[in-house]
Structure 1
């Protein structure tokens, strides 16, 4: 079990690097679009679409890492009014619900990919299955990270990273 936690932590480090690259490329594309529009008086037809798809991937990947670090938005007021032991079980239940939601999202995302695989994006003409693949990829990573959090809560640790 601990080896799974270590593997996921290594995967999350790679994901953080990927998120940084996605964000850097997205910023470069937006800067190129602004430069092209205001300096060259022409517009790049593909830039907004690429920036949108990069952003979608960054959000899904970032949500998975944030779940691992227990950094997603939540209502903490309940934890302050219940005993520590109940708070631990509440966190376990919440993460189990996240796992179920993520598994559902994986299947729904796969169905969506199947429905849009014959379509191409308007500007870049890439298969729409590429942007839609962010849904099951992100959901799978969220489920795996939620499993890691549950394992750590059962082991008695409650580290946030």
Structure 2
């Protein structure tokens, strides 16, 4: 249904608007890994409770797929600037103080993601242990997490630069729509 004044890439459902223009290819990657996780867990359930003979590898693989969903989803959350924040404190601060606090928070995020990427790389390089159920090195899991943290690090740098250049963010100016800060570039 076409509604005058509403962009075609939005869906309206009971006064809630869902913006589909912010979907990227790695959002599909999260969805794919999630469905892979769902399939493995269903296979585990089916073999354990229906066939009464569980497959040994499903529990361990489900654990590693859950880790993958978590960290790929975290990359998506950083890209959308959807990480948690204590917004009540921002309401009590003046706008110049909010800008300084936002820059500090962005800088802390950059340092955190960078240090976690570095730590994961070091851990992956030192890991020689194999998975219990299949003959694959556990370092692949750590390399995957390191790649996700490296992506979050790069995105956090981009977000820091964007907030410094535009002078605004959803926490600095909550009355400005989220898309307005990215459209002013």
Interval of TM-score (by shorter of Structure 1 and Structure 2): 0.7 to 0.9
Q: Which has the higher strand share?
A: 2
Aligned with residue 133 of structure 2, among 117, 123, 134: 123
Match of 2:143 in 1: 133
The alignment yields a C-alpha RMSD, in angstroms, of: 1.7
Does residue 29 (structure 1) correspond to residue 40 (structure 2)? The answer is: yes
TM-score, normalising length from structure 2? 0.74
Max Rg structure: 2
Matched residue count = 149
How far apart are residue 86 of structure 1 and its match?
2.1
1:96 aligns with 2:107: yes
Q: Distance in 2 between matches of 1:154 and 1:135?
A: 28
Segment drifting more, 62-71 vs 49-58: 62-71
Higher helix share: 1
Q: 1:59 to 1:26 in 2, by over 3 A?
A: same
Could you give the per-residue CA deviations for residues 22-79 of structure 1, whole angstroms, max 9, x where no partner exists? 0000001101111111111111111111111111111112112212222112211211
Q: Is the 8 A contact 1:61 1:141 kept in 2?
A: no
Gaps of at least 5 residues in structure 1 are 1-11
Equivalents in 2 of 1:39, 1:121: separation in Å? Answer: 26
Q: Which residue of structure 2 aligns with residue 77 of structure 1?
A: 88
TM (normalized to structure 1)? 0.85
Corresponding position of 2:174: none
1:106 aligns to what?
117
Q: RCO greater where, 1 or 2, for CA within 8 Å and sep 6 or more?
A: 1
Distance 1:130 1:16, change over 3 A: same
What runs of 5+ residues in structure 2 fail to find an aligned partner?
1-22, 170-177
